[in-house]
Chain A
């Protein structure tokens, strides 16, 4: 594996979730897949507060799945949205999208 997903976290999850591990992965992916387009919409609408909440939520769920880098990127979005520094944030959103694709391919390959 690579550094996009923390292996210790994943093995803990496998142990705890047992048969439901696959359900967890697909739940996470379905949820995140909805949220990433939401980030772009909220950014385009200039809605800092909604952007912050969506990023906050995705930050939490990705960290729980061991997606450390995705979580860090979401934190950046959350932080800048809170400070209302939306200039140049579009770049970070693209990084979020790219990192998510990375995480998805890893998780789907498990």
Chain B
């Protein structure tokens, strides 16, 4: 096919008979000829006709072939225009001069039809290949910029959904590449209504958009459920189930999720498929590890999914490190991995606790010679006192619709529901439908949680709060709680809630009634005396968070009012 393509060939020679022969040979091969007799005309003809091949005599009047070749090569730019010098130059100096001027080959006199034909064919093929390479290069560049644009747009969407939430809290440090989402790494963090902080580090299998896509449902479930006060186990299960449902086989998410309870100085942690997490103790310098004991998210169906978490105490200043395998699998120029040993050493040798984070990043960066930094995702979470943290609880934006104004409702939970269902997220969901109550969701959650556990434990299950005064009693209390719950055959808890508007705010009344026996309340609690004996009931806390608290009937009914003012 290449042979049959007609080329345009520019011939520049000042000797008429030589030019006639060349024209005839080239035409005989089926190509088009443009013929001139000096260098200036050759350059002009090149600009006008853009020939595929140029045959130049070296010595010509007005402008010689060397200068013409130079100018033509400049005009051709990145296009390949083969220049063949027509010469019987025998000495090396002149040949060098031809090459320096950009000449690609020589054709000596007497002209041979066979040789010229072969040269035209060879250069024509070279030119076509060059054009193909250019075309493909341009296509690749175009595809690449297209891909980058797409990723940019995708990233903007991902960033809105898979934002890092509360990661700017002062007890959190993290390193995440701006394009981490396309490596499959995702970090989400939010503060629950109860004030504890929940953080998830995930590493999806694969790269690019397929790896990024799963982070969208993961993030929206996480932020949705954390904000509404769901428990860590519920959130884990929901994410797992959703990922299992939507991800193709072989795509899953190695993840660690942690719930930091600052007031109890405890963490609850679940690790499915990520490297061991480290807890660096402030006073002893010791490192405790939290192993992965679960399969990654999105592998098992809900029935087989294991949600047991590890509970670890952390003192203020203790630091928890989460990382994806990018750190351990960083390679040096010999292809060796950074490995867990090197990582562990960074915590030893009396490491300053507050420099470990930088030391890890520096060490990996140095080890890998600046390569593959995109894959490093690292989080450092420091245990802090609750007061040290600003309230970063999720801000509820005003919805399109006005939400609830004045309303009342009754929800009665019967035996079978009491055994299985945590009503707090549901109730909180209803309460935050009142626009003005959204910003009080933390307080409301605590109120509901205290009222509900009192009704369930002291009312329905009839557990005496006095047991909780000793540590043995505490243990007994919880064992008994489980036993009685399993054996429960009759009981109920009823929530009567009412909301009235008042000025720029409103009054929320919550009445909780349980099936228990009540207690002698009237002269003790309602008068505000002898609270200590009932401390297990969190009455002081409820009173501090609400406007009023009173017990009714024989003590199995409690009424709390919560007054709010939008101007506060």
Q: Would you list which residues of chain B between 17 and 74 have a CB under 8 Å from chain A? A: 17-18, 20-21, 24-25, 28, 59
Q: Is the CB of B88 within 8 A of A31?
A: no
Known: A17-B20, A57-B59. 11 other contacts (CB 8 A): A9-B110, A16-B28, A16-B113, A56-B59, A56-B88, A57-B15, A59-B109, A60-B18, A60-B87, A61-B109, A64-B21
- Complex Cα gap A31–B293 (Å): 97
Interface residue ranges of B143-200 to A (CB < 8 Å): none
CA distance A69 to B401 in the complex (A): 105
Interface flags, A20-33, vs B, CB<8A=1, else 0: 10011001100100
A63 at the interface (CB under 8 A from B): yes
Chain B residue nearest in CB terms to A82: B91
Which residues of chain B in 429-447 are interfacial with respect to chain A, using CB atoms and an 8 Å cutoff?
none
The 3 closest A-B pairs by CB, nearest first: A28-B17, A60-B109, A63-B110
Q: Which residues from 30 to 44 on chain A have a C-beta closer than 8 Å to any C-beta of chain B?
A: 31
A16 adjacent to B24 (CB under 8 Å): yes
Any A CB within 8 A of the CB of B111: yes
Q: Which residue of B lies closest to A68 (CB)?
A: B110
Q: A63 near B24 (CB under 8 angstroms)?
A: no
Q: Quick check: is B486 within 8 A (CB to CB) of the other chain?
A: no
Beyond A63-B110, A64-B109, whether A24 also contacts B15 by CB under 8 A is: no
Pick the contact of A60: B15, B20, B28, B113 (CB < 8 A): B15
Contact B24 A64 (CB under 8 A): no
Asked if B532 CB lies within 8 Å of chain A CBs, one says no
Across the interface, which residues of B come within 8 angstroms of A12, CB to CB?
113
| Inter-chain contacts of A61 with B (CB < 8 A) | 15, 17-18, 109
Interface centre among B20, B59, B113, by most A CB within 10 Å? B20
B:529-563 near A, CB below 8 Å: none
Inter-subunit contact A20/B24 (CB<8 Å): yes
Question: Chain A contacts of B18 at CB under 8 A?
Answer: 60-61, 64
Chain B's closest residue to A56 (CB) is: B59
Do residues A31 and B24 form an inter-chain contact, with CB atoms below 8 A?
A: no
B15 touches A23 (CB 8 A): no
**Contacts A16-B113, A63-B110, A66-B110 known; A31 to B17 CB distance under 8 Å?**
yes
Separation of A12 and B25 alpha carbons in the complex (Å): 10
* Chain A residues within an 8 Å CB radius of B341: none
Q: Across the interface, do B88 and A63 meet the contact criterion of CB distance under 8 Å? A: yes
Complex Cα distance, B110 from A53, in Å, reads 17
Minimum CB–CB distance from A76 to chain B (whole Å) comes to 12
Contacts of A28 in B (CB 8 A): 16-17
Q: Provide the bound-state CA to CA distance between A17 and B18, in Å.
A: 12
Chain B residues with a Cβ under 8 A of chain A: 14-18, 20-21, 24-25, 28, 59, 87-88, 109-111, 113
A contacts, CB < 8 Å to B:
9, 12-13, 16-18, 20, 23-24, 27-28, 31, 53, 56-57, 59-61, 63-66
In the complex, chain B residues whose CB is within 8 Å of the CB of A18: 24
Q: Are B28 and A64 in contact (CB under 8 A)?
A: no
How many angstroms from the CA of A57 to the CA of B113 in the assembled complex? 20
* Bound complex: CA A65 to CA B17 (Å): 9
Bound Cα distance from A9 to B110, whole angstroms: 8
Evaluate contact between A59 and B20: CB separation under 8 angstroms: no
When chains A and B are docked, how far (Å) is the Cα of A27 from the Cα of B24? 14
Residues of B contacting A63 with CB < 8 Å? Answer: 88, 109-110
Q: Which residue of B lies closest to A58 (CB)?
A: B15
Cβ contacts under 8 Å, A24 to chain B: 17, 20-21, 24
25 A-B residue pairs with CB within 8 Å:
A16-B24, A20-B20, A20-B24, A24-B21, A24-B24, A27-B20, A28-B17, A31-B15, A31-B17, A56-B59, A57-B59, A59-B88, A60-B18, A60-B88, A60-B109, A61-B18, A61-B109, A63-B88, A64-B17, A64-B18, A64-B21, A64-B109, A64-B110, A64-B111, A65-B110
> In the complex, which of the residues A9, A23, A53, A56 contacts B20, with contact meaning CB atoms closer than 8 Å?
A23
Q: Which residues of A contact B113 (CB under 8 A)?
A: 12, 16
Q: How far is the CA of A13 from the CA of B25 in the complex (A)?
A: 9
Contact partner of B16 (CB less than 8 A), chosen from A16, A17, A31, A53, is A31
Nearest CB of B to A28, in Å = 4
Chain A residue contacts of B15, Cβ below 8 A: 31, 57, 60-61
Q: Is the CB of B21 within 8 A of A53?
A: no
A66 to B110, CA, bound (A): 7
Which among A9, A27, A56, A59 is the interface contact of B17 at CB below 8 angstroms?
Answer: A27
Whole-angstrom CA separation of A103 from B15 in the bound complex:
18
Residue in B25, B59, B87, B88 whose CB lies within 8 Å of A53: B59
Instruction: For the complex, give the distance between the alpha carbons of A6 and B364 in Å.
Output: 78
CA distance A17 to B23 in the complex (A): 9
Chain A residues near B24 (CB-CB < 8 A)? 16-18, 20, 24
Complex Cα distance, B87 from A78, in Å, reads 14
Task: Point out the residues of chain A lying under 8 angstroms from B25, CB to CB.
Answer: 16
Please, how many angstroms separate the alpha-carbon atoms of A61 and B88 in the complex? Answer: 10
* Residue numbers in A under 8 Å from B20 (CB-CB): 17, 20, 23-24, 27
Beta-carbon contact of B16 and A27 below 8 Å:
yes
**Closest Cβ–Cβ distance, residue A99 to chain B (whole Å):** 16
Whole-angstrom distance between the Cβ of A110 and the nearest chain B Cβ: 15
Asked whether, in the complex, the Cβ of A17 is within 8 Å of the Cβ of B21, the reply is yes
A108 to B21, CA, bound (A): 18
**Most A-side CB within 10 Å, residue of B17, B20, B111:** B17
Report how far A66 CA is from B24 CA in the complex, Å.
16
Closest CB of chain B to A12's CB: distance in Å?
6
Cα(A56)–Cα(B90), bound, Å:
11
Question: What separation, in Å, do the CA atoms of A9 and B25 have in the docked complex?
Answer: 13
Smallest Cβ distance from B16 to chain A, in angstroms? 5
Q: A78 CB to closest chain B CB, in angstroms?
A: 9
A17 CA / B25 CA spacing, docked (Å)? 8
Q: With a CB–CB cut-off of 8 A, which chain B residues contact A56?
A: 59, 88
